[in-house]
Amino acid sequence: MEDIKLSLATQAEGTAKSGSRVKAKPQDGMSEEILAAVLKSLDDDKAEDILQIELRGKSEMGDYMVIASGRSSRQVTSIAEKLVDKLKQEFRVISKMEGRETGDWVLIDTGDVIVHIFRPEVREFYQLEKMWLPNSPKV
């Protein structure tokens, strides 16, 4: 995770020299604004079973994790691409995205908000929620 943040910071530093105002990581206190934008974008693009998990005090990787599902690989990819574009346009946040090629599970790292978008079958297989929610039933 640190490698991603370091890489993004280096990338932003390089673009800052060229006059761009793009930031690699959200400013302190913006995680709630970014979270709200993420949730709205997922809802607008008809993501299903959207779940928000607060990570503060549980993990250093971010402040929030959002898990959602798309009905197909195509929808998962589309939701992810639109979200990354929206964050870049509205917040000037460069997000790292993994898994877009297959569309089974796309991971988007915005810095303070980590977003997982799954196809339903893949989400059920990995059961990521159970690792982070204290009251989830154990299998």
Q: What is the pLDDT of residues 13-22, one digit of tens each?
A: 333 333 333 3
- Residue 89 DSSP SS3: helix
Q: Which residue has the tokens 């204290």?
A: 134
DSSP per-residue letters across 92-133: -BPPEEE-TTT-SEEEEE-SSEEEEEE-HHHHHHH-HHHHH-
Q: What is the structure's pLDDT at 80?
A: 97
Residue 27 pLDDT: 52
Chain segment 20-45, per-residue pLDDT in tens: 333 344 455 688 999 999 999 999 99
> DSSP for 35-87?
HHHHHHHHHHTT-EEEEEEE-TTT-SS-SEEEEEE-SSHHHHHHHHHHHHHHH
- 124-135 pLDDT tens trace: 999 999 888 876
| Structural domains in the chain, sorted by start | 26-132 (3.30.460.10)
